[in-house]
Amino acid sequence: MSTPIVIDCDPGHDDAIAILLALASPEVELRGIVTVAGNQTVDKTTRNALKVLELGGRSDIPVVRGAVAPLKRTLRTAAHVHGESGLDGPDLPEPSTQLSDDDPAAWLEPGVVLVPTGPLTNVARLLEHGVRPDSIVWMGGAIAEGNITPAAEFNAFVDPEAAAIVFAGGVPLTMIGLDVTHKALFTRAHADRLRGTGRAGRVVAELSDFFQLFHERRYGMNGSPIHDALAVAHVIDPTLVTTLHTNVEIETSSEFCDGRTVVDRWQSTGRPANAYVGVDVDAELLRDLADEGGGPAFLRPWRCRRRGGRRLPVGLAADDDEDGSDRDDLSFLHQDAGHGSCCR
């Protein structure tokens, strides 16, 4: 059975990869996308979301444009990471799909997981209007380090007032922060393996090429964390990230620490737990699948094997698959537009 999800995002290279991962994964069913201002203006992030869905052959999935600006602050974008378009690198056609008139609150039926991968502006507004998703898996925050300031992760920093509302909101909340996303690097070798596998694989490789340049220059990393994809991956396989149920408070009025997610790692405050905070990634699940010809294991659904006319993700295809090595990639999405994953 697949888990229905709604992605609230600001694409963004890693948001784009998160969307494609959701499209390619039988374990989740993407019900809709809401966009938010973050990595770029909301006009740009919305255009990018539509481009990505068209690339995946899933322009039937509704997209609603969300908040133009944070609740109380001037928008701070991340053009230095994602470029002027918010999705620099691959040459994607301008989208022709219209935006949806849906009310995203109606998508959040019982059982639907909300996966925000940008600032929490839209989510805070939903909660303030009394909408209560069953659960939220957010990419953002950090226990230990910042990436936009020494103290803060970008999504938390852009709209800390929204983050404070969401962390106080009482909805079961998982935080996939930098502490875990920095352990899940997508390397040039992974990109090269995808490059020749079809249109979507090539686009992911080109997204990664652009994204990696920043991470290599800025952090000396041998690859790039594809932060947002790890949040979707954790919904796909909730054993992927080990979490700690503890208290998290959001700093909103500090000269140096605005946007800091203050995680009570060792439960020293006595404040009630309000979040499941990612503390580790399963190394076994994340092992390099070089022998499988794949990338990090959380990208496994992009490569499928056939069994009895059905295709299974490599990660789920045990050694007993019938014809073994018949692998595919996201190009199937174009052959089967409207139906999504090869693995359903």
Binding residues for Ca ion, per CB under 5 A?
10, 12, 15, 117-118, 228
**CB distance 36 to 42 below 8 Å:** yes
Residues 6+ apart with CB under 8 A from 163: 119, 120, 124, 140, 141, 155, 156, 250, 259, 261
What minimum distance in Å lies between the beta carbon of 155 and Ca ion?
A: 6
Q: Out of Ca ion, ligand BDR, none, which partner does residue 4 contact, by CB within 5 to 8 A per kind?
A: none
Q: Does 77 bind ligand BDR (CB under 6 A)?
A: no
**x/- binding map, residues 200-239, to ligand BDR, per CB under 6 A?**
---------------------------xx-----------
Q: Does 258 bind ligand BDR (CB under 6 A)?
A: no
What is the C-alpha separation between 97 and 11, in angstroms, rounded? 16
220: preceding bond cis by omega (within 30 degrees): no
- Nearest Cα to 156, choosing from 174, 135, 177? 177
What's the CA angle centered on 238, arms 174 and 19, to 5 degrees?
A: 80
What is the C-alpha separation between 344 and 334, in angstroms, rounded? 15
245 as an active site residue: the answer is no
Q: Does 27 bind ligand BDR (CB under 6 A)?
A: no
Q: Which is nearer to ligand BDR, 22 or 81 (CB)?
A: 81
Q: Does 147 bind ligand BDR (CB under 6 A)?
A: yes
- Indicate the DSSP class of residue 341: -
What minimum distance in Å lies between the beta carbon of 112 and ligand BDR?
A: 21
- Count CB neighbours of 240 within 10 A: 21
By CB under 6 A, the count of residues binding ligand BDR is: 15
Given the residues 227, 234, 245, 334, select the one marked as catalytic: 227
Q: Out of ligand BDR, Ca ion, none, which partner does residue 81 contact, by CB within 5 to 8 A per kind?
A: ligand BDR
Q: Which is nearer to ligand BDR, 14 or 258 (CB)?
A: 14
Residues 6+ apart with CB under 8 A from 224: 14, 185, 186, 208, 211, 212, 214, 215, 216
Helix residue spans in 220-290 (DSSP H):
227-236
Residues 149-178 binding ligand BDR (CB under 6 A) are 153-155
Q: Out of ligand BDR, Ca ion, none, which partner does residue 154 contact, by CB within 5 to 8 A per kind?
A: ligand BDR
The residue sitting closest to ligand BDR, measured at its beta carbon, is: 154
Active site residues: 227
- The residues binding ligand BDR (CB under 6 A) are 12, 14-15, 39, 78, 81, 117-118, 139, 147, 153-155, 227-228
